[in-house]
Amino acid sequence: MSTEFEITDTLDVTGLNCPMPVVKTKQTVDGLAQNAILEVVASDPGSIPDIDGWAQSTAGVELLDQIEGDDVYKHYVRKAE
């Protein structure tokens, strides 16, 4: 995947462990405008499957990309509705 999109908001959840990255992501996405793209920066490796699973099971949310770095995980979520 490639990050060829315009990020409208960033959420830093570094230092938080499951389930908080997903909880904070949901809270933030709920307040975004339609088609906004949220970058979520996390330190919990479990955020990769957790945010993916949440996005797949949540209507109106699209996971655009996930990037694994050195102790940092970035997720790009679009609010579709």
Active site members: 18
Distances (CA, A) of 5 to 16, 44, 68, 70, 71: 26, 24, 18, 22, 23
Report strand pairing: 37-42 vs 73-79. antiparallel
